[in-house]
Homo-oligomer: A and B are copies of this chain.
């Protein structure tokens, strides 16, 4: 799996940014759907990239605020990023607590079951709505559009499946609860 250092290089390859701005990318941008990184991993990663000469820090851009540190990728950093990009990508990984829970769904209290599925459907519908607006406004590179489209396709598939099959599982849970 690609590490946080490489993730940061990826963001910086599109333009200078601070640690804070990098994190925002992973929270809001197209990368957010398939990657993840918090402050606790970004700041140490930036420090290591700095030590390795793959990024440089820009001496304070005097925009009033003094504390902000802007980072810029170096040729060495671009090279490292490219090496990561042409490596055979590892398999996609999907971690879902909800799916683990639902694999025992028929043993759960039916109301509870129905609620957690409903909540998740709402979450996904919300994300889909946000993405649909963004997709038409924000300007993206072809790669970003592709990735964002994939996110949208997956979210729709998940929301759709949950909606279509929700009642089956709740019905099984109801039967189970009547037996017990």
* Residues on A facing B (Cβ under 8 Å): 1-2, 7, 10, 13, 30-31, 33-36, 85-86, 88-109, 112, 116, 120, 123, 141-144, 146-147, 149-150, 153-154, 156-158, 160-162, 165, 168-169, 172-173
Contact = CB atoms under 8 A, between A and B. Distances in A.
B169 A91 contact: no
A99 B142 contact: no
A117 to B, nearest CB: 10
Q: Taking the full assembly, how many copies of this chain does it contain?
A: 2
Contacts of A95: 1, 34-36, 92-95
Main SS class of interface, A: helix
A169 B150 CA distance: 12
Nearest to A108: B85
A112 to B, nearest CB: 6
B147 A103 contact: yes
A178 B92 CA distance: 31
Contact of A105 (B101, B112, B146, B160): B146
Contacts of A89: 96-98, 100-101, 116, 120
Contacts of A172: 142-143
A97 B168 contact: no
A120 B104 CA distance: 31
A89 to B, nearest CB: 4
Given A34-B95, A102-B143, A147-B99, A88 B116 contact: yes
